[in-house]
Chain A
Amino acid sequence: MMSLPFLLFACGLGAGWMQRRGAALGFWAAGVLVLLVLFKLHATDALNISL
């Protein structure tokens, strides 16, 4: 699952190489979405700081 955003970006680069700009942008957006979900899943501990 952690490798999914890399895979999506690699697919997006492949699409870009084939001049499919819309597909490349779609893969990028999906990759960023997965990145944010994975970050939420890993940022579970409360920070020991006072703001």
Chain B
Amino acid sequence: MTPEQSKLLNGLGLIAIDTVLVLAFVDQLWFRDLPCPLCILQRVGFIAAGFGIALNLLFGPKPSHYGITILGACAGAIISVRQILLHIVPGSGEYGNAIFGLHLYSWALMFFGLMVIGTGIMLFFERQFAPETKIQQPSLLSVVALATFFLLAAGNVISTLSICGVGLCPDNPSGYLIFNDNLSITSLGNPA
């Protein structure tokens, strides 16, 4: 696999992560399904994992970038497992809407697992790590994937601030904290 082919696959991988994060926003904004604290941390896991793919697009493929993706996916998977275990016993409740029979935290665990497997497979193709002889202009796919990824990270800053303020999130958010009339700067640091 040449570095160019690797960048193409990395670009498609980052588009896939962008799609997951966009769908999370669709669920939040269209279906009014506010993310819980662990759900927000799983979004962080997706961005932590996608960061390695973004570095591959920006600096060329390197094993350390794939390591970043694996570590980020593992961090996200640990959070997903925690949330699944909270609700795994029948009757212990659930959080959010189920999609095709599975809740978002179960889907997230599968995606994190797929990312680890996919990244492990990519590491087998060692020719992609050969130094590039000429500086390549980033492809349109890479630019679109990177710009969308950056916008989603920035969008999550705004979204999380509006739900949680500057403190920790409430366990079961019922609305956007930032639209609460009684909110003051002092109460932001002391979540209920």
A interface residues, Cβ below 8 angstroms from B: 1-3, 5-7, 9-10, 12-14, 16-17, 19, 21, 24-25, 28, 31-32, 35-36, 38-39, 41-43, 45, 47-49
Contacts and interface: CB of A to CB of B under 8 A. Distances in A.
B112 to A, nearest CB: 13
Contact of B79 (A17, A25, A39): A39
Contacts of B78: 39
Interface of B: 37-38, 40-41, 43-45, 47-48, 51, 54-55, 58-59, 68, 71-72, 75, 78-79, 82, 85-86, 88-89, 92, 146, 149-150, 153-154, 156-158, 160-161, 164, 166-169
A32 B48 contact: yes
Given A10-B153, A35-B44, A42-B37, A16 B55 contact: yes
Given A13-B149, A21-B59, A41-B168, A3 B160 contact: yes
Contact of A32 (B40, B72, B146): B72
A1 B156 CA distance: 12
Contacts of A41: 168
A6 to B, nearest CB: 4
A30 to B, nearest CB: 11
A2 B40 CA distance: 8
A9 to B, nearest CB: 5
B58 A31 contact: no
B71 A32 contact: yes
A12 to B, nearest CB: 6
A2 B160 contact: yes
Given A10-B150, A49-B85, A31 B55 contact: no
Contacts of A7: 157
Contacts of A19: 58-59
Given A14-B150, A31-B44, A35-B41, A9 B85 contact: no
Contacts of A25: 55, 68
Given A21-B55, A35-B41, A39-B41, A1 B168 contact: yes
A23 to B, nearest CB: 12
A2 B169 contact: yes
A17 B146 contact: yes
Contacts of B68: 25, 28
Contacts of A28: 48, 51, 68
